Structure 1
């Protein structure tokens, strides 16, 4: 069983560190397919990753960020072993969100940022979710050939879109325990993310009451569809700036939770 690891390279130093870390992985057959974007050749993660997928020879396609690090030498093997236990699936990730009535709930075992912080509720086994995070996700090569990324531009929510398409195709999406470190602090949310989310909800909103993601919950009905993306964007921006001020951060968090319900 072979896996194809497909990643977009924007920074050579980060990618070199990734390759050195990948070399530590044992008991797994893999190929690495880097997509060079150091000169901003692409304006879409979907298009860049699709080019890599078309070259892939593996049974499973693993789309991942180059700042992912494996925390032990059997981490990749363990992921593949979990994937093989699931006979039929759309998308598998290492962080994701189930459908919830309130704010999105992040489930994951990975750590994030320079301090290796926990970023969500823990999980012990394979768990069904609505969507998964873009940092590391998996599809069967045979399934992907008939369900490729869309041609949409931008760098956000491409794994979420694959998850929604999989659900519409009658597939289930899952997350699995993984011993991984995502070096990014997870603060890539910007105004382009908001516009990507608005396009996504306009495209799929008639089929899903809401879309739960690891950044926020997107509503497809009522007035929250229109004001929550911008309120979330503002509150997230404020929260990132105020993390060092614990008391003020807690007050902002209460406001955030009030409007998320």
Structure 2
């Protein structure tokens, strides 16, 4: 049985996306819905640990409130896949391989996201080992979680908790996989801004992301020279301030190129 664990801060989003498809699932499952509308929990790690400690399933599926599984047999299908994966630490529906010439080539599987829906990643036909998975949906065997919980000290906010967990699993000799099942993730940008404009204003990520990232880099730098994530790739030996400056410069260049090309 799979325990579905969702921390939500928007009950309408939960009712519109995740709950309807859970009601249609073809197999028995456990639901653990962690209400954080009042800000009780200060980090994903804290909230997910709270929910996962209650779980009774063989597998713990951590999922965002705005994800649609797109299939009434999703839980049944993924359970069959998980049972066949050797040395499983984490499995997700999207992730980053270390193989490829650039970030786009390293993306694995296809998920649909945003409004209107667009595809993400390079499709796979069978489970593939990767370095990290996207946090919109990932699964951990309960016996693994009982030995290794989310690191609330390294990830005291709402970013990189899944990345940190994947890297820790790999250091412990466990494997991280992406499986060939598609989902829809709303993950929409607000207002009329393009993703590029939003990224340029934020320095690509919210500031909290950059407060947590150095902790993750320091924790894993003895095992990984580079960390590949769906939201970027980071050199653990290079100061973050230099990497941020380089990223912002490139975003600015790309923005100017698009502006010149578009004539506005």
- State if a TM-score over 0.5 links the two structures: yes
TM-superposed deviation, 1:101: 6.8
Between the aligned partners of 1:70 and 1:80, the Cα distance in structure 2 is 14
- Distance, in Å, in 1 between the alignment partners of 2:245 and 2:21 is 38
Structure 2 partner of 1:40: 39
Pairing 1:205–2:204 present: no
TM-score (norm 2): 0.84
2:231 to 209, 215, 222: 215
Cα offset for 1:237? 8.7
User: What is the aligned residue count?
Assistant: 244
Question: Aligned partners of 2:182, 2:41: CA distance in 1, in Å?
Answer: 31
Q: How far apart, in 1, do the equivalents of 2:82 and 2:248 lie?
A: 34
Aligned position for 1:52: 51
2 CA distance for matches of 1:57 and 1:249? 56
1:87 deviation in Å?
Answer: 3.3
2:163 to 144, 160, 163: 160
What is aligned with 1:82?
A: 81
Indicate conservation of the 8 Å contact 1:218/1:229, yes or no.
no
Kindly provide the CA deviation profile for residues 54-99 of structure 1, in whole angstroms up to 9, marking residues without a partner as x.
0000000001101110212222222222111213211111110112
Q: Deviations over 1:28-75 (max 9, x none)?
A: 221110111001111110010000000000000001101110212222
Whole-angstrom distance in 2 between the partners of 1:234 and 1:151:
32
Maintained 8 Å contact 2:21/2:71: no
After TM superposition, the structure 1 = structure 2 runs for residues 1-261 of structure 1, keeping only pairs within 5 Å, are 2-17=1-16, 18-26=18-26, 28-100=27-99, 102-104=101-103, 105-152=106-153, 153-185=156-188, 189-222=205-238, 225-232=240-247, 247-248=258-259
- State the superposition RMSD in angstroms: 2.5
Could you say what secondary structure the match of 1:91 adopts?
A: strand
- The corresponding residue for 2:201 is none
What is the alpha-carbon distance in structure 2 between the residues aligned to residue 123 and residue 222 of structure 1?
Answer: 32
The 1:61–1:237 alpha-carbon spacing in structure 2 relative to 1, beyond 3 Å, is: farther
Show the counterpart of 1:257.
Answer: none
Which runs of 5 or more structure 2 residues have no equivalent in the other structure?
190-194, 196-203
Distance 1:165 1:176, change over 3 A: same
TM-score using structure 1 length: 0.85
